[in-house]
Structure 1
Amino acid sequence: MQHANIPGPIKDDYPYPGQCDGIDSWHYYKCQCTSFVAWRINSRLGVKFDNYYKGPNWGNGNTWDEAARKTGVTINGTPVPGCVAQTNAGSYGHVAWVAKVSGDSVTVEEYNYVHAKKYSTRTVPKSSFNYIHIKV
């Protein structure tokens, strides 16, 4: 049976909005995409995830795919609500929370993409990301 909060409501429930200095409880910089997704993994999947989940440093968004592979976490091209959208594009890559999948599109929730250090949502082609399946 799935956790009742997967994927959960589409809303900014991040615990550090506007408090973007320093390191969060998951060993990420506050208000970054990685911090937001780590929060969601903990709060909505009920998984004790941090920057050293299962051993390696997960780091920036562009290294989450390698960390997933090293730890045996499934990564593929098939999104489901509650998984992590990941891309190596840009200087540091990016991760986002998959909120909804509809046909060939995926709706993600994220921090620090559309607006610096702020929450946003986007609906993009599924092919825009790799998908990391920590629980779902």
Structure 2
Amino acid sequence: MVKLLDLPAELDPDFVLQVLLAREALGTTAVGDGIAIPHVRNPILLQLPIPKVALCFLDQPVDFEALDGKPVQILFTVTSPTVKMHLHLLSKLAYALRDHRLREALRTPCDRDRIMAVLKNIEQDIGRPST
């Protein structure tokens, strides 16, 4: 998973993995329904220039000790340069994952265009007043 993050060349992937595992040791990042959001506790450690969210579909489910007991097969890994941006991304992603449209799109992992379209629609909906 770490190798898929498109990290800067000077950032050691093993270090990133250790930081992610250290965060996971504090408590699960699983949000239920086979989905987890692994992220670092302190994003400044990575010194990244831009925020990123990477989506990864695992070949084999992994036990993340999710509250619903379901093993994780979908990972959204969040990296960002600042704590504020990090919390903002986590918040938006958590909101999006509550939407049935995204959960439905995630059932077809090969359809990246559909997943991105759904995410864009949800992001647009965030700014609209509720009716």
TM-score, with length taken from structure 1: 0.29
Greater fraction of residues in helix? 2
TM-score, with length taken from structure 2: 0.30
Greater gyration radius = 2
- Where relative contact order (Cα < 8 A, 6+ residues apart) is larger, the structure is 1
